[in-house]
A and B are shown apart, each in its own frame.
Chain A
Amino acid sequence: MKVRIPDPLRSYTERQSVVEAAGDTVGAVIADLDRQYPGIRFRMVDEQNKIRPHMKVFVNEDAVRDPETRVAPGDELTIMQALSGG
């Protein structure tokens, strides 16, 4: 499925804003992303398998926080990051 990558994480995806990754849950898709782009997962998911605060993951148009959320072929994952802080 298509995964949209926010600008702060594009150093991992060779500056690509949209990449392909596979899996039947949000967590599995992110794990597949990490196989292709090592290191990207830990920047957005912590060691306790929680999506980090201020990182947002959307399945199509629905925001999800649980990595176990199931996804289906044809869904689209959008990863967003708040840029607050100054």
Chain B
Amino acid sequence: MTTTYVESPEPVRDGLALLVGTRKGAWILTGDERREQWRAAGPLFLGHIAQHVVLDPRDRTTLLLAASTGHLGPTVFRSENLGRSWKEATRPPAFAAGERLGRSLRAVFWLSPGHPDEPGSWYAGGSPQGLFRSDDGGDTWESVHGWNDHPKWETWAEWPEEGTPDGSMLHSIIVDPSDASHLYIGLSGGGVFESADGGADWLPLNAGSVATFLPDPEPEFGHDPHCVRLHPLRPDRLYQQNHCGIYRMDRPDARWIRVGDNMPPEVGDIGFPIELHPRDPDTAWVFPMDGTDVWPRTSPGGRPAVYITRDAGESWTRRDAGLPERGWFTVKRQAMTVDTRDPVGVYFGTTSGEIWASADEGASWECLARHLPEIYSVEHADPVSRR
């Protein structure tokens, strides 16, 4: 694989793309269908904290970028032409003015497109742990009152103290493809929550997962899911990479099964991201990190590796061919993604500013880009330009 770096007014080309959010701006990588020749366009919004960059999979043209900038307030930038021009949201995500708790949104952390039957709909998760919705392609955002003003929000969310190192966040906003009103969210910390009525009401969904950092290791809520994924072709199957293990749930069961117990004991089952095969609900990839002692969050033993399961977590196989023999980086929860090709391409970005790619489902790895700022997010996209 070879990568050419460009500063282009047309950052996105049709075909395979990786949308990269970093601590100091965004980059967009586009690859040929063989995934051999890559073009890295950027920086976009140099100096801005780009938490998450996501393409609307429904029109394949609209890009949303969750940004903040040093000490300025958070916002969302939108492009309706694959990044050739950008506009700021007219009304960015925010809590209600004058509300009882006096919450002020510090960061937009996560962006999720809404249901395919609801074009233009988006959800955003933030710090503090607010949930917001747009119905106009991300131009204006409303508070999801059923969550933000839920009578138990103060109990479920981390408030007013924020416990996680980079601040509490609401992430993993999942819209069930079989039911637009069925939503899941993840709170770090707080746990997984589910709504069956479009966000009007919510219930914890944490049974079976543990929270070893709490006095009761199996509480109803208070867990720390790092990343939750639902399989698009089998919406009843959920996986999560938690602060305390890797889990799977097959609905209508409402209990998580710790499939991370099947990982090698010397590696453990702690990490941030988990990614699913787009066509095979039994296949998933994780990037384990060291969760012992003072939690360095680097690869166990300094030996970076992806692990793959092809049997829904019953067994895991190490995949590290081509990865550095020693490395001391972290892969954050939004910084791993898969494409839709056959075989599936797997990608991850590191806190040390590298993007690694595998065009053979993890069997071998090559470095796509180096010397970027700390990478916060990598999302696969299949853009189509409309001129």
Binding site for B on A (CB under 8 A): 8-9, 38-39, 42-50, 52-55, 81-85
B71 touches A47 (CB 8 A): no
**Contact flag A42-B97 (CB < 8 Å), given A83-B70, A85-B70:** no
CA distance A38 to B96 in the complex (A): 19
Residues of chain B lying within 8 A (CB to CB) of residue A84? 71
As a 0/1 sequence over residues 60 to 92 of chain B, the CB contacts with chain A under 8 angstroms (1 = contact) are 000000000111110100000000000010101
B94 touches A47 (CB 8 A): yes
Q: Does B95 contact A (CB under 8 A)?
A: yes
B70 touches A44 (CB 8 A): no
Q: Out of A39, A49, A55, A83, which one reaches B97, CB within 8 Å? A: A49
Residues of chain B lying within 8 A (CB to CB) of residue A39? 75, 88, 90, 92
B71 touches A81 (CB 8 A): yes
Q: How far in angstroms is the closest Cβ of chain B from A36? A: 15
A-B contact pairs, 27 of them (CB 8 A): A8-B70, A8-B72, A9-B72, A39-B88, A39-B90, A42-B73, A42-B75, A42-B92, A42-B94, A43-B73, A46-B73, A47-B94, A47-B95, A47-B96, A47-B103, A47-B104, A47-B105, A48-B102, A48-B104, A50-B104, A52-B71, A52-B73, A53-B71, A81-B72, A82-B70, A84-B71, A85-B71
Q: Out of B75, B97, B98, B103, which one reaches A43, CB within 8 Å? A: B75
A46 touches B72 (CB 8 A): no
CA distance A44 to B69 in the complex (A): 11
Residues of chain A lying within 8 A (CB to CB) of residue B69? 8, 43
Residues of chain A lying within 8 A (CB to CB) of residue B73? 42-46, 52
Q: Out of A38, A47, A50, which one reaches B90, CB within 8 Å? A: A38
Across the two chains, which residue of chain A brings its CB closest to B91?
A: A42
Across the two chains, which residue of chain A brings its CB closest to B97?
A: A47
Residues of chain A lying within 8 A (CB to CB) of residue B96? 47
Q: How far in angstroms is the closest Cβ of chain B from A74? A: 29
Q: Which among A39, A47, A49, A81 has the greatest number of chain B C-beta atoms within 10 A?
A: A47
As a 0/1 sequence over residues 201 to 237 of chain B, the CB contacts with chain A under 8 angstroms (1 = contact) are 0000000000000000000000000000000000000
Residues of chain B lying within 8 A (CB to CB) of residue A44? 72-73
A48 touches B71 (CB 8 A): no
Q: How far in angstroms is the closest Cβ of chain A from B103? A: 8
CA distance A50 to B99 in the complex (A): 13
CA distance A45 to B97 in the complex (A): 11
**Contact flag A48-B70 (CB < 8 Å), given A42-B75, A42-B92, A43-B75:** no
Q: How far in angstroms is the closest Cβ of chain A from B88? A: 5
CA distance A48 to B99 in the complex (A): 8
Residues of chain A lying within 8 A (CB to CB) of residue B103? 47-48
Residues of chain A lying within 8 A (CB to CB) of residue B72? 8-9, 43-44, 52, 55, 81
The 6 closest A-B CB pairs, nearest first, are A54-B71, A46-B104, A43-B72, A47-B94, A43-B73, A39-B88
Q: How far in angstroms is the closest Cβ of chain A from B74? A: 9
Across the two chains, which residue of chain B brings its CB closest to A39?
A: B88
Residues of chain A lying within 8 A (CB to CB) of residue B95? 47-48
CA distance A53 to B104 in the complex (A): 11
CA distance A47 to B70 in the complex (A): 18
As a 0/1 sequence over residues 349 to 369 of chain B, the CB contacts with chain A under 8 angstroms (1 = contact) are 000000000000000000000
CA distance A56 to B179 in the complex (A): 47
Q: Out of A42, A49, A55, which one reaches B71, CB within 8 Å? A: A55
Residues of chain A lying within 8 A (CB to CB) of residue B88? 38-39
CA distance A85 to B47 in the complex (A): 11
CA distance A56 to B105 in the complex (A): 19
